[in-house]
Amino acid sequence: MAKVLDLPKLQPFTLGETSTISQRWRKWIKSFEYYIAASGINDKKQQRAILLHLAGPEVQDIFETLEDTGNDLDTAIAKLTSYFEPQKNIPFERHNFRQTTQLQGETIEQLAIRLKHQVKFCEYGNPNDMIRDQIIEHCSSSRLRRRLLREPELTLEKTVEIGRRSNIVCYCCGNAGHRAKDPRCPAEGMSCNKCHKLGHFARVCRQLKPTNKPEFQNPTSKNKNEIYKQNTGSHGEIRYVYGAPHPATGKSLSDDEYVFELGATGKMPHATVQIGNFPVDLIVDSGATVNVLDNEIFAKIKANSPITLSKTNLKLFPYGSSTPLSIQEHENFHPIQNTCNGDNLFMQTLVTKYPQVFNGIGKFKDLQLHLHFDESVPPVAQAPRRIPFHIRKAVQTKLDELETLGIIEPVKGPSPWVSPLVAVPKPNGDIRVCVDMRQANSAIIRERHPIPTIEETLQELQGATVFSKLDLRSGYHQIELHPESRPITTFATQKGLYQYTRLMFGVSSAPEVYQHIIQQILQGLPGVRNISDDIIVFGKTKDEHDQNLNNVIQRLQESGLTLNKDKCLFGVSNLTFFGHEVSASGVSPDTKKVEAIREARVPTNAAEVRSFLGLATYCSRFIPNFATVADPLRLLTRKSTPWQWNSIHQNAFDTLKNLLTGNTVMAHYDPSAPTHLRVDASP
């Protein structure tokens, strides 16, 4: 008698990427065998029916085409396995196996287990030897590697045992997988918050009692590569360096000083000192070889008393930089024109820990994107557009660059689709190459994945106080196109036909597909949201934010994606995200958009009114009674309304500009707070 199952169902098997289908089928069958064993069903016919039911419609369609499938479970599995087995890609599996390296915090035992799962699909003659060699080659510790290579008869079991005994834990950062002073150690060059010394974190500090203040040394002493910090009460934390070596030369220069950080918070003794006629809060006996003021404080001092500055040859360098700050000198004070902060150091730490994420244009692993086509639409081969002679060389240079990066490739053989190339000069003199895909888009079927709005994204930030913004480098170009989807991207140049190997701007389905892919990559991670290639990471505390950020960048590294370091912001209290200023207090309009609205000239036709309303509508949530105030202007945009600008329209125009102020802040929506709804009869 058949039994009623009360077990969670397996997910249906999807065909997906053919290069991994054999491996995925074996894993699915293993899960099915566990399911059948747990269900207690012994009838082979019922087991066969359950197999086909759980496998899903794609497998059912394939199964119906197979011959001699029998009536029992074993025959059905054998037939399906024989169907999927020939499609396995041995070079692909071996390539993945050889690319496996020891992860941060992963033990040798855990690495060996991962390799054992992967080697099953590689068909090596002696898999244990291959796993042993992979561990030796790609373990994170060079010391362990040398230890293993000294063994004359090294087996896999012995490799794992030696790795277990030398369970390496770095005493500088507390992480496993490397020893102290390893260049990959995240504590390298960092200052301990407990003892203020370099090279280790506070959680592994061996000092018995934390020091309340640094032990200042004579600047002329031999120990000149020490970094100290002190706090200045409510006026911020000042960090400073004694005669550190110049980053470019490595030599210590007596007239070069290094500024580490200005502007953090802390609690340390300070005194109010009169400079000219202006009181300034200074730390008590900091011991620094230079005293630094920012431009804002110096401007206040100068406004209260006449001060004349003299030139100086002294150089101040931001920590970790070889570019000196622009300074002016007055006695022992140096007003800095561009102060630095901890963001630079934080970013450098991440770059050191995850170098692959900040290097070049990445490629999402294990995916070749299929574009869907309407076969009833006939292909169109358009004539090329002539590129102006004065930019042809720059266009060809850009095409050569894209081909070198593997983003485009020459077309071999006939192509049914050909689209024209459009070259757009940039303000910096560079060239942006685009493809007019309007004809080709008529044959592309969109997938209609929803794209979140800025309102949906911002409402997730309630309670957050620390933020980071990540920008994926050339975002679309990090998604590889399937070879069957590339011909529709073919475009004509003066030197022949090219086609894209990666997703490109202009494809009608690209925004929604790309958004869906990035959402899937980040799925399950707390404190992160994205709109297209812009990712915002947030946390209620700095520790929570740092953990969320570390998880996001680690996930990006595992996926093969890369970031544009120059466009990223790390660990800040406020940032601009899609035209909105985001902070712990709430959301306010971007100051650039506010200025654009305030400086807008009086419209002279309906099209200019429509343009102004479009800009103002983007900030409408910050303008009280926007619909009522803007109604006279909106009436002018109707086709049935003749153009006539009068005092009513001018008043509405001026009122909209005056109502939008840069200091308007809308608090983050709190679902747990009482909600009051106000409605009116506004148009």
Mean pLDDT of the 53-62 span: 85
The C-alpha atoms of residue 145 and residue 561 are separated, in whole angstroms, by 29
The C-alpha atoms of residue 508 and residue 531 are separated, in whole angstroms, by 17
Q: Is 67 domain-assigned?
A: yes
Q: What element of type H or E holds 423?
A: strand 419-425
The C-alpha atoms of residue 280 and residue 297 are separated, in whole angstroms, by 8
pLDDT at 284: 57
Structure tokens at 52: 């086909």
Residue 238 has pLDDT above 50, yes or no: no
Q: Is 176 domain-assigned?
A: no
Q: What element of type H or E holds 445?
A: strand 444-445
Domain shared by 574 and 590, yes or no: no
pLDDT at 682: 55
| Phi, psi angles (nearest 5°) of residue 657 | -70, -35
| Phi, psi angles (nearest 5°) of residue 83 | -75, -45
Mean pLDDT of the 14-18 span: 73
pLDDT at 628: 85
Q: Is 313 domain-assigned?
A: no
The C-alpha atoms of residue 217 and residue 312 are separated, in whole angstroms, by 25
Of the three residues 61, 84, 107, the one that is the final residue of a domain is 84
The C-alpha atoms of residue 136 and residue 159 are separated, in whole angstroms, by 8
Mean pLDDT of the 527-545 span: 87
Residue 356 carries which DSSP code? G
Q: Is 680 domain-assigned?
A: no
What type of residue is 514? Y
Residue 620 has pLDDT above 80, yes or no: no
pLDDT at 177: 56
Counted domains in the chain: 4
Segment of 255-259, 302-306, 504-508, 676-680 carrying the highest mean pLDDT? 504-508
pLDDT at 358: 86
Q: Is 52 domain-assigned?
A: yes
Residue 90's nearest CA partner among 59, 61, 119, 121 is 121
Q: For 268-292, give the DSSP string.
A: --EEEEEETTEEEEEETT---SSEE
Q: Where are the beta strands (DSSP E) in 340-396?
A: 372-373
Q: What are the tens digits of pLDDT across the range 473-521?
A: 888 899 999 999 999 999 988 888 999 999 988 888 888 888 888 888 8
Q: Classify 428 as helix, strand or coil.
A: coil
Q: Who wins on pLDDT, 105 or 649?
A: 649
| Contact indicator for 276, 257 with CB cutoff of 8 Å | no
| Phi, psi angles (nearest 5°) of residue 507 | -70, 125
The C-alpha atoms of residue 422 and residue 506 are separated, in whole angstroms, by 11
Domain shared by 616 and 494, yes or no: no
What type of residue is 382? Q
Mean pLDDT of the 128-145 span: 87
Tokens 């209290």, located at residue: 573
CATH number for the domain that contains residue 604: 3.30.70.270
Beta bridge partners of 575: 582
Domain shared by 656 and 593, yes or no: yes
Structure tokens at 426: 């940039």
Of the three residues 121, 152, 167, the one that is the final residue of a domain is 167
Domain shared by 564 and 663, yes or no: no
Tokens 């899960």, located at residue: 31
Mean pLDDT of the 215-233 span: 39
- Produce one character per residue of 367-376: b if its CB has 16 or more CB atoms within 10 Å, e if not: bbbebebeee
Q: Is 304 domain-assigned?
A: no
Q: Who wins on pLDDT, 215 or 111?
A: 111
If pLDDT is split at 50, 70 and 90, which confidence band does 575 have? Answer: confident
Q: Who wins on pLDDT, 156 or 95?
A: 156
For the chain, give the number of residues.
683
- Angle between helical axes of 591-598 and 606-618 (0-180°, round to 10): 150
Structure tokens at 188: 């390298």
The C-alpha atoms of residue 295 and residue 301 are separated, in whole angstroms, by 10
Residue 337's nearest CA partner among 306, 305, 298 is 298
pLDDT at 232: 38
pLDDT at 500: 92
Residue 439 has pLDDT above 70, yes or no: yes
What type of residue is 395? V
Q: Is 603 domain-assigned?
A: yes
If pLDDT is split at 50, 70 and 90, which confidence band does 335 have? Answer: low
Domain shared by 456 and 540, yes or no: yes
The C-alpha atoms of residue 434 and residue 422 are separated, in whole angstroms, by 5
The distance between the two most distant Cα atoms of the chain, rounded to a whole number of Å, is: 101
**Distance from chain centroid for Cα 545:** 14
Domain that holds residue 598: 586-667
Domain shared by 413 and 495, yes or no: yes
If pLDDT is split at 50, 70 and 90, which confidence band does 18 have? Answer: low
Domain shared by 447 and 545, yes or no: yes
Of the three residues 167, 191, 211, the one that is the final residue of a domain is 167
If pLDDT is split at 50, 70 and 90, which confidence band does 212 have? Answer: very low
Least confident stretch, 198-207, 297-306, 326-335, 367-376: 326-335
- Angle between helical axes of 647-659 and 591-598 (0-180°, round to 10): 160
pLDDT at 127: 87
Residue 549 carries which DSSP code? H
pLDDT at 321: 56
Structure tokens at 344: 């630079």
Q: What element of type H or E holds 498?
A: strand 496-500
pLDDT at 499: 92
Domain shared by 148 and 75, yes or no: no
Domain shared by 518 and 663, yes or no: no
Residues in contact with 11: Cβ distance below 8 Å, sequence separation at least 6, in sequence order: none
Residue 632's nearest CA partner among 611, 614, 609 is 609
Residue 66 has pLDDT above 70, yes or no: yes
How do beta strands 372-373 and 291-294 pair?
Answer: unpaired
Q: Is 296 domain-assigned?
A: no
What type of residue is 482? H
Q: For 372-387, give the DSSP string.
A: EE-TTSPP-BPPPPPP
Domain shared by 57 and 77, yes or no: yes
Residue 112's nearest CA partner among 134, 90, 94, 80 is 134
Residue 93's nearest CA partner among 177, 33, 26, 156 is 26
Q: Give the Cβ contact number of residue 194 at 10 Å.
A: 17
Residue 346 has pLDDT above 70, yes or no: no
Q: What is the pTM of this model?
A: 0.49
The C-alpha atoms of residue 309 and residue 312 are separated, in whole angstroms, by 9
CA distance readout (Å), 475 to 405, 466, 511, 552: 14, 25, 10, 16
pLDDT at 198: 81
How do beta strands 256-261 and 315-318 pair?
Answer: parallel
Domain shared by 428 and 549, yes or no: yes
| Contact indicator for 265, 237 with CB cutoff of 8 Å | yes
| Contact indicator for 472, 535 with CB cutoff of 8 Å | yes
Domain shared by 422 and 505, yes or no: yes
| Contact indicator for 469, 536 with CB cutoff of 8 Å | yes
Mean pLDDT of the chain: 76
